[in-house]
Amino acid sequence: MEVLLDRGAVSANSAIFHCCGYGWFLQVSPMHKKSGHKTPHIALSLSVYQNDLKSGDILTAVFELSMCNHSKGTYHGCKDSYHFDIKNKRSEKQCLIPLEELLKSSDFLVDDSCVFGVRILKAHVSSQNKPIVIPKKPITVQNIFLQKKGFIKGTYTWTMNNFLDMKVPVCSPAFEADRHKWYINMYPLGDQYSTNSLSLYLHLHDLNKIPLETGMVIELTLSILDQKHEGHYTVTGRFVFGVAAKIGWGWSNFIPLKTLMDPFSCYIVGSNCMLKADVTIIGSSNDG
């Protein structure tokens, strides 16, 4: 946990797990502040993998978000529900424990490790006449190991000279970071999950080089460069790339198109746009 905090208050996403016909992932926010509060909390939220949702469908789920109390062998958390659709893929963040209390605790933090969990209790899709059956199956366990030093970073700048002519999805040339090749998938007008925003995703070009049931924990920073000033538009996230989920990670609503096209921002000069990707490998993962 302290390793995660040392790199800032950026949220971290689990690898995708599957339940009741959908892909899901947990998001851990290590320094979340409730509206009107100053005390940072550890917060959890549940997301559904967007490609599993059909347009017009509303997936209503009831679930429990929790973290393990190692001393008691129990889970501490809360029950929540959310209506997921293609525009609303992540539940509200639920604060579990104040960060300061966690760092002093030997109940929830053992050897600088925390265990977070989610249990999906009920699910229903608006286009179906009956609830989804939640199968009784073994618990899915994912282990994430973060490095304290020796980070491997790759940086790539993609210069597009004809950005204003781009109307359909386009992929960047492949670039290298830690002996792996990556590429960026861009939707200039936004994908079906966005709301009037540019959509950006990072993909691993050579998935076949990763051993089965393992993955890499990536800290990804994508920036639209202001070509005349220092006010770059930057978003950072932490994701698990692996063979089990052959997908890209990124943001459907990366930057509002209105902001991108604002002439005072200088994100677009003439028809030129510059996108910078910083890919840092901060750890590894495997299935427990």
Domain CATH for 227 = 2.60.210.10
| Domain final position from 79, 114, 147 | 147
pTM of the complete model: 0.86
* CB burial string 123-140: b at 16+ within 10 A, e below: bbbeeeeeebeeeeeeee
Check whether residue 143 and residue 157 sit in a common domain.
no
Neighbours of 235 (CB within 10 A): 16
Check whether residue 2 and residue 141 sit in a common domain.
yes
pLDDT at 44: 95
Task: Report how far residue 1's alpha carbon sits from residue 113's, in angstroms, rounded to the nearest whole number.
Answer: 6
Task: Report how far residue 217's alpha carbon sits from residue 235's, in angstroms, rounded to the nearest whole number.
Answer: 17
Domain carrying residue 139 = 1-147
Extract the residue ranges of the chain whose pLDDT is less than 50. Answer: none
Give per-residue pLDDT as tens, 210-221.
655 677 889 999
pLDDT at 138: 57
pLDDT at 286: 75
Task: Report how far residue 90's alpha carbon sits from residue 107's, in angstroms, rounded to the nearest whole number.
Answer: 28
Residue carrying structure tokens 């495997």: 286
SS3 content of the chain, % helix, strand, coil (to 5): 10, 50, 40
Backbone angles phi, psi at 50, to 5 degrees: -60, -35
